[in-house]
Amino acid sequence: MFMWKDVPGENEIGPVVKDEELFASKIVTCVGQIIGVVVADSHENAKLAARKVQIVYEELPAILSIRDAIKSNSFHPNTERSLMKGDVESCFMSGMCDRIIEGEVQIGGQEHFYFESNSSLVWTIDGGNEIHMICSTQSPEKTQGYVARVLDLPLSKVVCKTKRIGGGFGGKETRSSFITAAASVPSFLLKRPVGITNGGKLLALDLELYNNAGNSLDVSFAVLERAMLHADNVYDIPHVKIRGQVCYTNLPSNTAFRGFGAPQGMIIAENWIQRIAMELKKRPEEIREANFQSEGSVTHYGQQLQGCTLGKVWDELKASCDLHKAREAVNKFNSSNRWKKRGIAMVPTKFGIAFILKCLNQAGALVQVYTDGTVLVTHGGVEMGQGLHTKVAQIAASSFNIPLSSVFISETSTDKVPNASPTSASASSDIYGAAVLNACEQIKARMEPIASKHKHSSFAELAAACYWERIDLSAHGFHITPDTGFDWKIGKGSPFNYYTYGAAFAEVEIDTLTGDFHTRTADIVLDLGHSLNPAIDVGQIEGAFIQGLGWFALEELKWGDAEHKWIRPGSLYTCGPGTYKIPSLNDIPLRFNVSLLKGVPNPKAIHSSKAVGEPPLFLASSVFFAIKDAIIAARSDAGYDGWFPLDNPATPERIRMACADEFTKPFASEDFWPKLSV
Ligand code: MTE
Ligand code: MOS
């Protein structure tokens, strides 16, 4: 067994703040924290040995929710952020506002729920002075860094390789590196390989935002920041004040999930839009349109919108889904059905593309042309099913004007492209595509004198001729995203290179007696500029939408807390498909249409394309608001017309209770709403 005392280097690690122990040394701050690793010659023996470990805990008071954290003033140090535009207080006091609405929105977490769990294989070479590993990570560079730190080795002696990973979705940006670091300690000390697996018109907005980071900061500060920068969604608000803070709780560390906080910021915005609509007895779509940002609008953080296609996306969707007719049909259905209700909603989105931390917006690539005309490309990005390698290979193939089959991307490796940013923030095809293009152009320029001297019948012939003439056929390419940057001290800047705009329409039917629902239609329009690969992009949109649907309406994490005594406080009850419901075939919309906006080249990214990975996830909120629309119809039949809260996710339990009727009346107090344990 290897524990904190055995760590050759530092036991404290973390991506931003080193506030997490590799192996707990004194205090365990969440259920499941690693105390040590058992190493054995077989899986069975390891399990037997692990069972022999006896641990005696002294139970200390724990903080498990945002509510508790705020009450106990439990925050991660130095994680307070604020953003300001105009003057919220004087606007509220001025009498200009006809109404001032206050409310609270609670948003649940989501499991990454991988096919392939975190895994890594670590081994030493050259007598144990160097360490190599293969890891399922979105950030080979971070994994390399953690391992070098815990083993006290220079980065140049630690190599991390990633062939491809079975889903990342933000969860393997940092959390996977801990597993590798834990495996590296025995591997290094024993000099043997070790493998580990585990399973109206808006005037002013005053917003306080809290997120639950759990027992270490991890990337939760960046998640909070992105939520704050997306709290306007697509709306122009003259006066804005946002304060955010990261809560410390005794839950296992939370991390990024597709969208990196942006969907959380945007769902709050859409909740107040929906509330305003109800208060003013208007359709939410009217309130949305009346407050849209447009070309030249300045966001609450000072970025001016350029190339804003929001209006185009919205109009195209509105026409294709025939909102008016859909509304009439739903009303008709609802007036002739008491226990089944239908609802519709149309929701827009705007997703900022770029890492907010400026230094991360850089990318490197290595392109090697061989004498048979085949090309080996390595770049800093990780393939996780999003089709990055295909897009990047396409860029190299088109640059050399050779078939796609002549280009090969073998793996991502820290010894080929150093200091790479994590593959996240959706911008990888933008930046690695550009870095590869840069390398291809260098090689083409070197080939040019040979190419112009003779007419070669193939690229292979040209490559061989260049070799003969001693031309370097290998090049390192590099790209930085220009003109981005943000200063949190003043809360102003242009953090994003551009935005990906989209909108979705959804129609659902709910069973008001069971709370079950079905998505009858989902229509999506997204602006992806000139898409690099429409087949991949449509797949990304469909996948993100269904993943979002899980978050908005199906998946609920239940933790043991002071109220739920049947499970230990701080333990996760919903840790498998038996208790945690992820989307299945049955949850796919009966009619599911995805289209890409045409004729809108994006001058800010490679070959006029746009980033796709995370932006469509939020569009599944159209299902959430369609559910709410159906609930409104059900409540109206029972004589309830006022606003009511609906936390995310809208699970059958919550839908059922919100459909207030004679059966739920005895429970229909504010306090009885099924509460989220956030
Ligand atoms: N698609 C698949 N199939 N698997 C994934 O893990 N991750 C998503 C998105 N699409 C993911 C995915 C997330 S969270 C991000 S940030 C982007 O892909 C990252 O890749 P990109 O920068 O190439 O879009
Ligand atoms: Mo994605 S959450 O930025 O890995």
Which three-class secondary structure string do you get for 281-338?
Answer: CCCHHHHHHHCECCCCCECCCCCECCCCCHHHHHHHHHHHHCHHHHHHHHHHHHHCCC
Provide the token pair at 319. Answer: 């026409």
Burial class of 158 by CB neighbour count within 10 A (0 to 12, 13 to 18, 19+): buried
Question: What are the beta bridge partners of residue 589?
Answer: none
pLDDT tens string 518-561: 999 999 999 999 999 999 999 999 999 999 999 999 999 999 88
Q: What are phi and psi of 526, to 5 degrees?
A: -130, 145
Question: Among 70, 27, 78, which Cα is nearest to 247's?
Answer: 70
137 lines ligand 2 (CB under 6 A): no
Q: Which of the 8 DSSP states describes residue 349?
A: E
List all residues 6 or more positions away from 531 whose beta carbon is below 8 Å from its beta carbon. Answer: 537, 596, 609, 610, 612
170 lines ligand 2 (CB under 6 A): yes
CA of 611 to the centre of ligand 2 (A): 12
Nearest CA to ligand 1 atom 23: 428
Q: How far is the CA of 256 from the centre of ligand 1 (A)?
A: 12
Which residue is listed with tokens 């049947």?
A: 566
Residue nearest to atom 16 of ligand 1 (CA): 424
Q: Which secondary structure element, helix H or strand E, spans residue 131, and what is its range?
A: strand 130-135
Give pLDDT tens digits for 428-469.
999 999 999 999 999 999 999 999 999 999 999 999 999 999
**Ligand 2 touching residue 258 (CB < 6 A):** yes
Question: Phi first, then psi: what are they for 25, rounded to 5°?
Answer: -100, -40
138 lines ligand 2 (CB under 6 A): yes
For the chain, the distance separating the N- and C-terminal CA atoms, rounded to the nearest angstrom, is 35
Ligand 2 pocket, residue 196 CB under 6 Å:
no
Q: State if residue 429 touches ligand 1 by the CB under 6 angstroms criterion.
A: yes
Distance 546 CA to ligand 1 centre (A): 14
Residue 450: alpha-carbon gap to chain centroid: 47
Query: Which ligand gives the minimal distance to the CA of 173?
Result: 2
Strand order of the β-sheet with 340-353 is: 340-353, 498-511, 517-526, 591-596
pLDDT at 200: 81
In SS3 terms, 449-507 reads as HHHHHCCCCCHHHHHHHHHHCCCCCEEEEEEECCCCEEECCCCEEECCCEEEEEEEEEE
Q: Which atom of ligand 2 is nearest to the CA of 613?
A: 1
pLDDT attached to residue 663: 83
CA of 614 to the centre of ligand 2 (A): 7
**The model's pTM:** 0.95
Q: Atom of ligand 2 at shortest distance to CA of 422?
A: 4
Ligand closest in space to the Cα of 430: 1
Closest ligand by atom to 262 CA: 2
Reported residue count of the chain is 678
Q: Is 595 helix (H, G, I), strand (E, B) or coil?
A: strand
How close is the Cα of 20 to the center of ligand 2, in Å?
21
Q: Residue whose CA is closest, atom 13 of ligand 1?
A: 169
- Provide the β-strand partners of residue 511: 340
Query: Which backbone phi and psi does 134 adopt, to 5 degrees?
Result: -115, 125
C-alpha 140/C-alpha 567 separation (Å) is 37
- DSSP at 529: B
Q: Is 279 exposed, middle or buried (0-12, 13-18, 19+ CB in 10 A)?
A: middle
Q: Tell me, what amino acid is at 238?
A: P
CA 546 – CA 585 distance, rounded (Å): 10
Q: How far apart are CA 652 and CA 633, in angstroms?
A: 16
Q: Which ligand is nearest to the CA of 390?
A: 1
Q: Is the CB of 388 under 6 A from ligand 1?
A: yes
Question: In this structure, what token pair is assigned to residue 42?
Answer: 């077989």
Q: What is the DSSP letter of 550?
A: I
8 Å CB contact between 407 and 399: no
10 Å Cβ neighbour count for 341?
Answer: 26
Residue 669: the pLDDT is 55
> 425 CB less than 6 Å from ligand 2?
yes
Give the residues of the chain that fall short of pLDDT 70: 193, 195-199, 564-565, 666-678
Closest CA to ligand 1's atom 12:
386
Q: Which atom of ligand 2 is closest in space to residue 172's alpha carbon?
A: 4
* Rg from Cα positions in the chain: 27
Q: Pick the atom of ligand 1 nearest to 258's CA.
A: 14
Q: Judge whether 370 and 414 are in contact, CB under 8 Å.
A: no
Ligand 2 nearest-atom number relative to CA 425 = 3
- Going by alpha carbons, the residue nearest to atom 4 of ligand 2 is 170
Of all atoms in ligand 2, which is nearest to the CA of residue 168?
A: 4
CA of 259 to the centre of ligand 2 (A): 6
- Would you say the CB of residue 572 lies under 6 angstroms from ligand 2? no
Q: How far is the CA of 260 from the centre of ligand 2 (A)?
A: 6
**Is the Cβ–Cβ distance between 161 and 411 less than 8 Å?**
yes
Q: What angle, 0 to 180 degrees and rounded to 10, lies between the N-to-C axes of helices 428-453 and 459-468?
A: 70
Q: Is 102 an active-site residue?
A: no
Q: Which H/E stretch holds residue 658?
A: helix 652-658
Longest CA–CA span in the chain (Å) reads 89
Given the residues 111, 141, 270, 614, select the one marked as catalytic.
614
The preferred substitution site among 137, 142, 173, 230 for testing ligand 2, maximizing ligand atoms within 8 Å of CB, is 173
Please identify, by atom number, the ligand 2 atom nearest to the C-alpha of residue 259. Answer: 2
Ligand 2 centroid to Cα of residue 634, in Å, is: 38
Alpha-carbon span 660 to 666, nearest angstrom? 10
What kind and span of H or E run contains 272?
helix 262-280
> What's the one-letter identity of residue 408?
F
Distance from the CA of 386 to the center of ligand 1, in angstroms?
A: 5
